[in-house]
């Protein structure tokens, strides 16, 4: 027995030693390397060399760490200047950098400095010359006033039926009062039956569309609209939008800067997110009648062609159709524009479109070289922030914010502009084609304060004492709001008396 016990103890000791022995080392196909201060560096793949991390002695000053000083100034023979770029910076001439080789952020100073060796996004510099090389009159800090819809996420509908992209405070934080959506529907496609927490104002950019809606009184509405027409659906009113034969693209403006197109109340989701027994009870049908309900939201989806005869879709109940003084559509394309030297304008607000008590808008056409006059909007219920969308051409505007800040922004077709009330601003056509843009206010009546008219209707002595104007300049000040002022396509011109004669 003792010998067995000793054998058992010896066996146990051998077993313990085996469990406690170090595990066998398997050499990987690549090895850990020692760094220069003796520690293990990170593992590298086959063929790697060098170090992921350097030694500690590279930190701080050391005579052993020399600094090279290559010249970073761009030589004058390696860049071009645009017309007007070397002129006095306070003139603020528009700089056309579109065809300039290696454009530089130079304003005034004889065109000699400063330069930018990069890295930079040259196409953006060319499109935004007044940010890249700002006028000398720009000052202080002004919130970003521009958002290109081309940078907005483009959400596609079902089966290629269309798309939508939006702008709200997530990408343009200053735009707290309004948000916008650019939407496309292919021929016969629907923006499905839905309603919003915010009111919806729209301008059709191209194509044609059929609208249907029912209000809280049970009054029904149906209309066909084309490019240049507008509609307004008050918050909570359910409606649908269907493209006609040629498809449609339209702009939507909502009276809430935080509005998101993704948070719309959809009829498909309404059906999906309630018990089927409840839906059946509400519609007075058997649950089997709900077998073909969609399994997910429709959003934008293909549809059958709308009947050519609109009366085929004129459904009415005891409340009848929506009366004309409450209609949700306005055929702005049929309105004759108000023409002035330099362009034309169409205004739409509750004066001509009674339903539009929350939105007032103006569709401006500004000739090359001309400008929408310097103005601001009223900080009360009669006006508000200005939300703009650029449909054609290119432009610039300067936002002046009290007491001494201003910044100049450049715009191209597809851009959104936003100016908080009551900041002063203008919009100048800097291109060679007509500028067409939409100006939207949250107001029952479109209105603004014209700087030129304000000075023209103020006693001359007061204006002269404030601004030092000559009598000839005082005589040229208008007493009627100009809206648009003509100008030369030569963007380096500084004498505009000829256009005023």
Which residues fall within 8 angstroms of residue 408, CB to CB, at 6 or more apart?
A: 92, 130, 131, 134, 135, 138, 396, 397, 398, 399
Q: Residue 383: what pLDDT?
A: 67
Residue 196 counted as an annotated binding residue: yes
Q: What is the pLDDT of residues 465-486, one digit of tens each?
A: 999 999 999 999 999 999 999 9
- pLDDT (mean) for 220-241: 98
CB 416 within 8 A of CB 146: yes
Window from 35-49, 225-239, 334-348 with minimum mean pLDDT: 35-49
499 included as an active-site residue: no
Flag whether pLDDT at 343 surpasses 60. yes
Residue 377 counted as an annotated binding residue: yes
Residue 386 counted as an annotated binding residue: yes
Flag whether pLDDT at 235 surpasses 70. yes
Flag whether pLDDT at 14 surpasses 50. no
Residue 375 counted as an annotated binding residue: yes
Residue 425 counted as an annotated binding residue: yes
Residue 466 counted as an annotated binding residue: no
Which tokens hold the place of 379? Answer: 């900080």
Q: What is the pLDDT of residues 376-401, one digit of tens each?
A: 999 876 668 999 999 999 999 999 99
From the candidates 186, 261, 373, 439, give the one annotated as an active-site residue. Answer: 439
Instruction: Tell me the pLDDT of the chain averaged across its residues.
Output: 91
CB 377 within 8 A of CB 386: yes
CB 262 within 8 A of CB 179: no
Q: What share of the chain is helix, strand, coil (3-state, %, to 5)?
A: 20, 30, 50
Residue 441 burial by CB count (10 A; 0-12/13-18/19+): exposed, middle or buried?
buried
Q: Please tell me the distance from the alpha carbon of residue 268 to that of residue 456, in angstroms, as a whole number.
A: 58
Flag whether pLDDT at 221 surpasses 60. yes
């Amino acid at each position: 027995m003792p010998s067995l016990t000793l054998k058992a103890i010896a066996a146990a000791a051998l077993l313990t030693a085996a469990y406690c022995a170090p595990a066998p080392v398997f050499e990987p196909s690549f090895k850990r390397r020692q760094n220069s201060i003796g520690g293990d560096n990170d593992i590298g793949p086959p063929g790697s060399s060098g170090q992921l991390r350097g030694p500690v002695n590279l930190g701080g000053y050391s005579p052993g760490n020399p600094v090279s000083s290559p010249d970073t100034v761009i030589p004058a023979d390696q860049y071009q200047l645009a017309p007007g770029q070397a002129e006095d910076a306070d003139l603020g001439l528009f700089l056309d950098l579109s065809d300039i080789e290696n454009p530089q952020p130079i304003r005034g100073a004889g065109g000699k400095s400063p330069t930018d060796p990069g890295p930079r996004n040259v196409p953006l510099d060319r499109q935004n010359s007044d940010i890249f090389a700002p006028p000398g009159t720009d000052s202080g800090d002004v919130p970003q006033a521009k958002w290109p819809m081309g940078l907005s996420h483009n959400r596609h509908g079902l089966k290629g039926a269309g798309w939508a992209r939006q702008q709200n405070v997530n990408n343009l934080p200053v735009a707290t009062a309004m948000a916008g959506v650019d939407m496309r529907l292919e021929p016969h496609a629907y923006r499905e039956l839905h309603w919003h927490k915010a009111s919806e104002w729209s301008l059709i950019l191209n194509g044609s569309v059929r609208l249907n809606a029912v209000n809280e009184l049970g009054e029904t509405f149906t209309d066909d609209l084309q490019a240049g027409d507008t509609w307004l659906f008050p918050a909570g009113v359910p409606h649908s939008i269907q493209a006609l034969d040629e498809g449609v693209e339209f702009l939507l403006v909502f009276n809430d800067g935080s509005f998101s197109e993704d948070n719309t109340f959809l009829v498909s989701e309404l059906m999906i997110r309630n018990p089927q027994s409840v839906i059946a009870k509400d519609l007075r049908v058997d649950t089997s009648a709900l077998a073909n309900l969609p399994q997910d939201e429709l959003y934008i989806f293909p549809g059958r062609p709308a009947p050519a005869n609109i009366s085929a879709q004129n459904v009415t109940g005891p409340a009848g159709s929506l009366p004309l003084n409450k209609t949700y559509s306005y055929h702005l394309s049929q309105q004759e524009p108000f023409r002035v030297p330099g362009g034309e304008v169409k205004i739409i607000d509750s004066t001509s479109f009674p339903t539009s008590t929350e939105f007032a808008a103006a569709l401006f056409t500004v000739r090359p070289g001309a400008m929408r006059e310097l103005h601001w909007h009223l900080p009360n219920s009669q006006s508000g922030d200005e939300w703009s969308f650029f449909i054609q051409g290119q432009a610039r505007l300067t936002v002046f914010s009290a007491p001494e800040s201003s910044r100049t922004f450049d715009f191209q077709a597809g851009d959104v502009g936003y100016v908080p009330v009551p900041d002063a601003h203008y919009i100048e056509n800097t291109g060679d084609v007509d500028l067409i843009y939409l100006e939207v206010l949250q107001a029952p009546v479109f209105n603004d304060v014209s700087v030129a008219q304000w000075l023209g209707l103020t006693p001359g002595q007061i204006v002269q004492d404030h601004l030092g104007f000559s009598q000839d300049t005082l005589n040229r000040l208008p007493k009627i709001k100009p809206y648009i002022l003509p100008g030369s396509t030569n963007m380096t011109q500084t004498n505009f008396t000829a256009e005023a004669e």
